Structure 1
Amino acid sequence: MISTVIVAFSMFSAIPMPQTEWTNKSMRYALCAFPLIGAVIGALVCLWRFVCLRMEFSEWILAAGICVLPVLVTGGIHLDGFCDTADALASHQDTEKKLQILKDPHMGAFAAIWLGCYFIAQLALAVTAAQMQADLTALAFGYCISRSLSGLAVASFPLAKNSGLAYTFAEYADKKKVRTFLAVLAAVLCVLCCICCGKKGIGVSIAAIGTFLYYRFRLIGKFGGLSGDLAGWFVQMCELFMLAAVVLTEYL
């Protein structure tokens, strides 16, 4: 159990972890521990909000923390996938060419453009949420929900290639048990989010599920299957839309 959590945090976060051997046993349920990284991010974001309000920091400082904390915890692994996917989509090439672009380690112009747009939108939403003193509990739930759905996708969706990060975790996973666990966890988290956070919880849950459905039925079809880069795109877009839901529900 401990080795499984260590493997998940070693791969999907920048949090220092003790060294452990990556074996079939430790990899089998590593995807099940993926949402724990979301729990860490959610706790830090809520703690940062508490500190900023208590110390009467500027809304911009609070907003900057909302944008930066997830990157600090994850080490930017999902942003890397977001950038690669942006380059591939902007190429408007066939599936094979898109997959080649995903493998290219260089950052293209469209990746830089979309990354800039992403952070501008995220910062604008975060500043608005800070100015409204919006409760971020629903967003904290959202970080766990997005990773539950991402892990579910890796264990369930067809893969674009027989190599890479997504393939490695999918290949070693006990897919049936992982799918069941993550599907139930995502459902439970959505229900708890709605109960605890009211309309914000409903908004965050709808944003997460809506992004997941687009991811499954539109985006993955463009690449012939799932890859680690597409999984990163999903996590980033899910976080952005969940933050938008938190802001929008303040107006309802």
Structure 2
Amino acid sequence: MRGRGHAILAAFQFLSRFPVTVQLDFTPELLKRSTRFYPLVGSAIGIVICLLSLISAWALPPLPASVVILIGWVYLTGGLHLDGWMDAADGLLSYRSREKMLEIMKDSRVGAMGVIACVLLLLLKVTLIASLLEKGALPLALLTVPLWSRWFMVHAIAGWPSARGVEGLAGQFDGMNYNSSRIAALLALLLSGAALVLLLLSGYEAELNWVQLGICYAAEPAAAWLIGSLAASKISSRLGGLTGDIYGALNEGLEVLLMLILVIIIH
């Protein structure tokens, strides 16, 4: 039980700003065990942001409320995945050699392409939040999107090699098998199912009909797997594997794409 508890705490401490004060030894084994609880972290982030959205929507018009919600979302993640998104943009959009792209991503400085990619991502994200807020579908997105994007991170860690071998953050997960991905997928299904039941019990079907809810519930994991796999395979072919920055970039990209799919379904 202690091992599982430490793995859960490690997942929260690594991926979020939730106040986990326990001192943990982040060995490669602990990091690998913690990945199966990444969807739980995503679910917790979604619940907190959902509560923030209720307060913001009550106090503010949709657009300012959406900005406040996005600020809270970024704060809870510590900007970890956004940093990966920017570094990945700097490297991949440089169109240099594999070695040069990896070198650029390793640099702590952010280049022009990283800044542009970050601004565009945040602009799209805030407009999607505003659209979902106006349609009354933001709770559905917040309770499901963050957990499925984080599940795919686990799938990516298990499914593609590390571009730098055993070096770097991705190298700490070297040798992780698909068991963690399968456990994380089961956990994500349970958590998203619980979220759907909660929404139905709260009378949420008044905003979205049963068909739309069912389509959303099925579309998100399918889209996360399909789109994420295509992106990871394409990037891996260019870099010879994935890196820690790429894991974060995949999470950010999938969050936006999954919200975009929800907007299309309910439009």
TM-score calculated relative to the size of structure 1? 0.87
Q: What pairs up with 1:43-122 in 2 under 5 angstroms?
A: 43-53=47-57, 55-122=58-125
2: CA distance, partners of 1:199 / 1:180: 22
How many residues are aligned here?
248
Contact 1:139 1:246 in 2 (8 A): no
SS at structure 1 position matched to 2:48: helix
Q: CA, structure 1 residues 24+104, in 2 after alignment: closer, same or farther (shift >3 Å)? A: closer
Q: What pairs up with 1:154-173 in 2 under 5 angstroms?
A: 154-162=157-165, 163-171=167-175, 173=176
Q: Which runs of 5+ in 2 are unaligned?
A: 201-212
SS at structure 2 position matched to 1:136: helix
How far did 1:212 drift? 1.1
1:33 corresponding residue in structure 2 = 37
Confirm whether residue 6 of structure 1 aligns to residue 9 of structure 2: yes
Contact 2:143 2:195 in 1 (8 A): no
Q: Which whole-Å deviations, capped at 9, do the CAs of 1:63-106 have from their partners, x for residues lacking one?
A: 12442232111101111110011011221111111111111111
Q: CA, structure 1 residues 207+27, in 2 after alignment: closer, same or farther (shift >3 Å)? A: closer
Further displaced range: 197-206 or 208-217? 197-206
1: CA distance, partners of 2:189 / 2:54: 28
One-letter identity of the residue aligned with 1:237:
G
1:145 corresponding residue in structure 2 = 148
How far did 1:189 drift? 6.0
Confirm whether residue 42 of structure 1 aligns to residue 58 of structure 2: no
Confirm whether residue 214 of structure 1 aligns to residue 230 of structure 2: yes
How far did 1:115 drift? 0.8
SS at structure 2 position matched to 1:169: coil
Q: What pairs up with 1:221-236 in 2 under 5 angstroms?
A: 221-236=237-252
2: CA distance, partners of 1:209 / 1:139: 18
Q: Which runs of 5+ in 1 are unaligned?
A: none
2: CA distance, partners of 1:3 / 1:104: 31
Q: Which whole-Å deviations, capped at 9, do the CAs of 1:97-145 have from their partners, x for residues lacking one?
A: 1111111111001111111111111112222222222243244212111
1: CA distance, partners of 2:243 / 2:28: 21
Further displaced range: 6-15 or 159-168? 6-15
Contact 1:194 1:200 in 2 (8 A): no
2: CA distance, partners of 1:207 / 1:176: 19
SS at structure 1 position matched to 2:173: helix
Q: CA, structure 1 residues 96+193, in 2 after alignment: closer, same or farther (shift >3 Å)? A: farther
Further displaced range: 190-199 or 176-185? 190-199
SS at structure 2 position matched to 1:91: coil
Q: CA, structure 1 residues 129+98, in 2 after alignment: closer, same or farther (shift >3 Å)? A: same
Further displaced range: 28-37 or 127-136? 127-136
Contact 1:211 1:234 in 2 (8 A): no
TM-score calculated relative to the size of structure 2? 0.83
Q: Which whole-Å deviations, capped at 9, do the CAs of 1:32-82 have from their partners, x for residues lacking one?
A: 1222210111101221233234x3531123312442232111101111110
One-letter identity of the residue aligned with 1:43:
I
2: CA distance, partners of 1:38 / 1:112: 25
How far did 1:201 drift? 2.6
Aligned-pair Cα RMSD in Å: 2.4
